Amino acid sequence: MKPGPFDPLRVLETLARHGVRYVVIGGFAGRLWGSTTVTDDLDVCYARDRKNLESLSRALRELHATVRGAPEDLPVPPDPETLASGDPFKFATTAGNFGCLATAAGSQGYSDLIAGAAEMTIGSLRVPVAAVEDLIRSKRAAGRPTDQAELEILSALKEEIERSSP
């Protein structure tokens, strides 16, 4: 499936409707903190308990998620068992590209990231967004060439946030 137009709000609203517990991570989280880097996907780190896996599976079905890059005829339902057995998942959805990670690089997963997350308003939603420090830790651990430039931007944002804090 070719992903639909990038609509992160629609993905987040779908997650909210299904009661999915997650933290926004990656480039979109950086944008929410003020990064100027453009991204064309939304990444989340999700809780891996059975109830949340069922909720995430329902949300993915509503978004008509298919595994990105897989043959279109490959029947890969994003069921709870599939979500529990793999990591990470990159989906094409009717609302654009959507990445689901159980354990973001440099973290211990959802419980680690939610502890420092900030709630931000996106549309009418209150959304947990990984702390800048956690985004930096994740980018360092991933070590991809594209992460190096973002590390500089996130480090500058961290300094700016620290200077403006009382």
Each residue of 123-141: pLDDT tens digit?
999 999 999 999 999 999 9
| pLDDT value at residue 11 | 98
Q: 18: which 2 tokens?
A: 């299904």
How far is residue 63's CA from residue 93's CA, in Å, rounded to a whole number? 5
Q: What is the pLDDT of residue 54?
A: 97
Structure tokens at 109: 């997963």
Neighbours of 123 (CB within 10 A): 11
Q: Residue 45, CB half-sphere, CA atoms under 13 Å: how many?
A: 27
- Per the CB < 8 A criterion, the answer to whether 153 and 37 are in contact is yes
Q: What is the pLDDT of residues 20-68, one digit of tens each?
A: 999 999 999 999 999 988 899 999 999 999 999 999 999 999 999 988 8
Q: Domains plus CATH for the chain?
A: 8-164 (3.30.460.40)
For the chain, the maximum distance between any two Cα atoms, rounded to a whole number of angstroms, is 55
